[in-house]
Structure formats: structure tokens, C-alpha cells
Amino acid sequence: MPYQPSPEEIGVWEKAGLGEKHVFYHGEGCVFCANTGFQGRIGVYEVLRVTDAMKSLIVANATHDQLKEMAAEQGMVTLQEQAMKLVERDVSTVAEIMRTIYVI
């Protein structure tokens, strides 16, 4: 069912940079989900491929920012990006992402 996210949720959505979203949804809740609106679980993963280029940076004691930049260049999708894609597809809510995994 559609709902109006809080200003904080809207800020997190905008910071994710996935574009405009006009309608946000959340589950209604029932006895089976303890009125949470969620059923089951879904994994959200961040996987870093350790390529030769990444190994070189690690051995050279590269900074966190350098490692992060190389990972992004090589196509790594961050935990936050994966989670916000669930919101984009109406699988989860910004509030649930903030509560469970979002790192600010």
C-alpha cells in the first residue's frame, strides 16, 4: 500500500541518487508477519572481487578511498546500492533499509 516516507527517508532516497520516485510502498501487515508488512528474508550482498589490480593496491597499503574507487571502477555494487534497488523495485522500504543495513 502506498505511504508517505518521512523527510529523513526521502533524504536517504535522494542521497542514493536513483532518480525520482513518486510512490513508495509498504506492506499492510497481517498475523503471519506479526504486522510488519514483511514476509521472509532477502539477502543483500556486497562482493569484492580481488583482481590483480586490487591485490596490487592491497599490497601497496592503499587507502580505503583508493580501494573503494578501484572496486567501483571494477563494477562492485555496494551494500547500500543493492539495498536501495530493493526499495526502487518496491520489495522493501527506506525505513527498513535504514533500520537493518544502511551505513551513513
Mean pLDDT, residues 18-46 taken together: 87
pTM above 0.85, yes or no: no
As given in the structure block, the three cell numbers for residue 32 are 503471519
Sort 97 into a burial class: Cβ within 10 Å, 0-12 / 13-18 / 19+.
buried
- The tens digit of pLDDT for each residue in 48-57 reads 999 999 999 9
The residues spanned by each domain of the chain are 2-100
Three-class HEC string of 75-99: CCCCHHHHHHHHHHCCCCCHHHHHH
pLDDT at 34: 82
How does residue 104 score in pLDDT terms, banded at 50, 70 and 90?
Answer: low
